[in-house]
Amino acid sequence: MATAWYIIPYVRQTPPAIAQVYTRSLALLSSGVAYTNAQALDIRGNRAIVKVQASNASLTTLNGLYKRLPVGMLDNPLASLTTPQKNALVSELQDQGYTAQDINAALPNSIGTYTLRDVLRFMARGRRLPVYNAGTDSLDEGDVSDNSAMLDTVDGAIVDSS
């Protein structure tokens, strides 16, 4: 089975599970796409970095549903990315809530000078815990809760056997 990294949003689960005011789960769980294993790591912006192990056909389907990261291994450099791919990655960081200044401070110069690990660690480091907003019945961003230490755990839990 092949593996790939995706950015996958959370979706609301209704009614919420017991003892919860709001329940969210990965959109992947309700996508209907078959996969062998999936490991998720919370990041900012009500989404998660997800390493998915599935058949090539399923990964092709997921490519159409979610943002697939352009390289497959954490230590892969991003130097070979095309300019549109690099722009898409920066755009994803901005979608998560990081400003251009945040990105430039953490990953100065071109994003192409870093590895996938560098970028994912940056995403996870700035994770914000969700906070329920009763007024809008939605989630706000709470305090920063660094989640980067779990990146290697997530990576190690799934081995590419293709």
Partner 1 sequence: MAGPITPIIYNFNGVDANPDPNFTALLNAIQRVSNQGAGTNAATNIAYLTGVTHGANCEEYITIGTKPGTGNSVALIARAITTSLLALSGYEWVFTDAAGTDTMQMFRLDNAVGTQLGSTVNQEWAAGDGLFIKPTGTTLEGYWNNAGTWTLKLTTTDATYASGGNVVLAVLGTTGRVDDLGGGTAVNLAGTSPITFGQSGALSDTDPLAGSSSITFGQSGALSDVLGLAGSSSIAFSQSGALSDTVNLVGASSILFGQTGDLTQVNPLAGASNITFGQSANLTDTLGLAGNSAVVFGQSGDLTDTKPLAGTSAIVFGGTADLTAGGGYFGNSTITFGQSSALSDVSNLAGSSPILFGQTANLSLAHALAGLSTIVFGGQGTLYAPTIDIPETDWYRTSSLPIEQNRNLIAINLNDTSLVVNQRDSTLPIEQNNPRNGVNSH
Closest to partner 1 by CB, 24 or 86: 24
> Which residues 130-149 are close enough to bind partner 1 by CB under 8 A?
130-132, 139, 142, 145, 147, 149
The site string for partner 1 over 39-68 (x = CB under 8 A, - otherwise) reads xx-x--------------------------
Q: Are 43 and 123 in contact (CB under 8 A)?
A: yes
Question: Is the CB of 79 or the CB of 157 nearer to partner 1?
Answer: 157
Tokens linked to 138: 């939605």
Minimum CB–partner distance for residue 94 and partner 1 (Å): 23
Other C-beta atoms lying within 10 Å of the C-beta of residue 24? 16
What distance in Å separates the CA atoms of residue 50 and residue 69, rounded to the nearest whole number? 10
CA distances to 11, 30, 64, 101 from 148, rounded to whole Å, are: 22, 26, 27, 20
Least distance to partner 1 from the beta carbon of 39, Å? Answer: 8
Q: Closer to partner 1 by CB, 61 or 76: give it.
A: 61
Q: Residue 152 to residues 102, 132, 148: CA-CA distances in angstroms?
A: 23, 29, 8
Helix (H) or strand (E) holding 116: helix 116-125
Which residues in the 88-117 window bind partner 1 by CB under 8 A?
Answer: none
- 16-35 mask for partner 1 (x: CB under 8 A)? xxxxxxxxxxx--x------
Q: Please, which residues have CB within 8 angstroms of residue 29's CB and are 6 or more apart in sequence?
A: none
Q: List residues near partner 1 by CB under 8 A.
A: 10, 13, 16-26, 29, 38-40, 42, 129-132, 139, 142, 145, 147, 149-150, 153-154, 157
